[in-house]
Structure 1
Amino acid sequence: NSSAQPIVLFISNERKTFRNTNTVNYDFKKLLKNDSHHLTALAGHELIKIKSTVDTDEVRFYPKLFTADQAFNLSTQGTPFSTDKFRNADDILLSYFARVNYDFEGKYLASATFRADGSSKFSEGNRWGYFPSAALAWRISSESFMESTHSWLDDLKIRASYGTAGNNNIPSDQTRTIWSGGTSPNTGWINNVNSFWTTGSSMTNPDLKWETTYTRNFGLDFTLLNGKLSGTVEYYWNTTKDLLLEFPVSGVGYSTQYRNIGETENRGWEVTLNWNPINKKNYGLSWVLMLVSIKIK
């Protein structure tokens, strides 16, 4: 401070997380009379609740010769300057999800998933986000017209997928005004009262909603020469919309505001090769080669 005397800041953070997950799985093999068909399903529910508090205390005007250890251990030798006790709003995430997997003779594969996520970080009208996904695959190597390749081709599969995922990674209390109290004995704010209430430096935004990422993948997987050579060739295309960003504002009495602004996109090719020339019981030798081409927009 201005008199060049030591200042100590004590900050205590407390965070408690409660998580409850329930899932049920079912295999339909008893209902499907034909062994060529395989169908499984999963459904579930999850609740995550996070409570957090921050206690900040500042002590000033220690003797100038005090070291850091002395200041922390002998806090009564300084003058209490300010106290700020802040309890964040509970961060609650309620989710429902389901998945279905189907394959026919191990050659034709399909998968579908769906998530419904509700977050307390958003206002009631934007609280829920819905995120479907689906994937298809064809194991070409299992087809009868590929029998002539079995001497050198172990597995060949093409696949395609489309999916969505949500992001709510922002601090709580961004959609409504939250007041916090503090004290500053050396400053009189109103009528010489040195305790105060403040909304902080961030402006609220009741229109915030889920940030959503859309993914598309098209791939080819292969295994050759009795497992010695394997790899993938994949094209991916990802788009993220309604980005949750802290945006600077001016002239309104606040510094920043969280908003859904902007869009990002990245796409490209990824090639991975695995070569395992030696695979013995007690030792082995393998190489991995990865080539990635990315275009960002």
Structure 2
Amino acid sequence: MLADLVAGKPTMMESGNDFVAQAKSSYTRNVANIFGNYTKTLGESHNFKVLGGLNTEWYDFERTYARRNTLLDKTKPEFNLAIGDQFTSPLVANDILNPGLSRYAIAGFFARVNYDYKGKYLLELNGRYDGSSKFPTDEQWGFFPSASVGYRISEEGFMEGTKSWLNDLKIRGSVGSIGNQNIVANAFLPVMTNVTTNPNPYWIGSGTTINPTVNQPSNVDPNLTWEKVTTQDIGIDIRIFNMLGLTFDYYQRDTKGMLAPGKTLPGSFGQSSRQYKLRKLENNRLGTCY
């Protein structure tokens, strides 16, 4: 029979050894977002908007496992009614039941300034300062700015004759970067795992034990940091008859410090490859949207 940990029913994973087991997982996520904005118009022509704030997130995960063999009464699966060996890990490795602990936190400060002159000339400046506990202490923070400009030609005086059918004609350009920290927590830490066929120390002979044995530290990159994606874009927006719109964009996107699995290494190396390796990717694209 397979273990039914929810109902607490006695189970049998090996012949002649009934047991009671329980697994408990706890997830906690706290999120805070705070921001404010300010709008100001000067001389009926110069329009300003300012926004600033912060966001932060904490995540905690913990899982525990308990098992005791040899139930006195198989119809009453209670720990106090079991008299056999006790375990704090499944006898067979199981990603769902294995005890574990994971924690990480992220934080970001952001600001944006918008300016336009009579809705004709447009400017936007953005900045983010982000931090993540998934990286080494000296690499946890990154600054990611962006800027864009636009020119709404349809608002010019010489375009008055097109107002009846041309609702919007705008050319624009932008450049900016964003950060990516989508990796597992603590990927930069060299971890030594227990070298056993199960979570308990090796058994040798009839009941003789040796001290727990561990692997050599895992092969990791101690300089992991934010993946930085920079995009340069130029585009045109057109809208006619209040019903048909066309957007044209040409952009170049460069990814630096790309987070990706490392290369497969020969067995003679004695270790697997680093969990993540820094790479670079470039992408050019032309796009339209109706």
TM-score range, shorter chain: 0.7 to 0.9
Higher strand share: 1
Alpha carbons 1:121, 1:127 under 8 Å: kept: yes
- Matched with 1:63 is none
* Correspondent of 1:105 among 75, 100, 118: 118
Runs of at least 5 residues in structure 2 that lack an aligned partner in the other structure: 1-11, 90-97
- Matched with 2:237 is 221
Name the SS of the counterpart of 1:242 in structure 2. strand
1:212 equivalent to 2:221? Answer no
* Correspondent of 1:258 among 275, 282, 289: 275
The CA deviation at 1:257 is: 1.8
Alpha carbons 1:48, 1:93 under 8 Å: kept: yes
Report the identity percentage.
30
Alpha carbons 2:191, 2:217 under 8 Å: kept: no
Alpha carbons 1:110, 1:137 under 8 Å: kept: yes
Alpha carbons 1:122, 1:175 under 8 Å: kept: yes
Write the deviation string for residues 209-245 of structure 1: whole angstroms up to 9, x where unpaired.
11010112211111112x1321111112211111112
Name the SS of the counterpart of 1:35 in structure 2. coil
Write the deviation string for residues 119-152 of structure 1: whole angstroms up to 9, x where unpaired.
1111122111110011111100010111222232
- Matched with 1:237 is 252
Q: TM-score, normalised by structure 2?
A: 0.74
* Correspondent of 1:132 among 133, 137, 145: 145
* Correspondent of 2:129 among 92, 106, 116: 116
Distance of 1:199 and 1:172 partners within structure 2? 20
Q: 1:266 to 1:54 in 2, by over 3 A?
A: farther
CA RMSD of aligned residues (A): 3.5
Alpha carbons 2:58, 2:104 under 8 Å: kept: yes
Q: 1:197 to 1:144 in 2, by over 3 A?
A: farther
Distance of 1:199 and 1:119 partners within structure 2? 28
Q: Residues 143-162 of structure 1: matches in 2 within 5 Å?
A: 143-162=156-175
Distance of 1:56 and 1:212 partners within structure 2? 40
* Correspondent of 2:100 among 80, 86, 94: 86
Write the deviation string for residues 175-196 of structure 1: whole angstroms up to 9, x where unpaired.
224567797458338x7148x4
Runs of at least 5 residues in structure 1 that lack an aligned partner in the other structure: 61-69, 274-297
1:38 equivalent to 2:38? Answer no
- Matched with 1:283 is none
Alpha carbons 1:81, 1:186 under 8 Å: kept: no
Alpha carbons 2:201, 2:210 under 8 Å: kept: no
The CA deviation at 1:13 is: 4.1
Distance of 2:231 and 2:22 partners within structure 1? 45
Write the deviation string for residues 268-295 of structure 1: whole angstroms up to 9, x where unpaired.
211222xxxxxxxxxxxxxxxxxxxxxx
> When the two structures are aligned, how many residues end up with a matched partner?
253
Write the deviation string for residues 77-105 of structure 1: whole angstroms up to 9, x where unpaired.
x98777142212x2111211100011100
- Matched with 2:202 is 187
Alpha carbons 1:114, 1:132 under 8 Å: kept: yes
Q: 1:148 to 1:45 in 2, by over 3 A?
A: same
Q: TM-score, normalised by structure 1?
A: 0.72
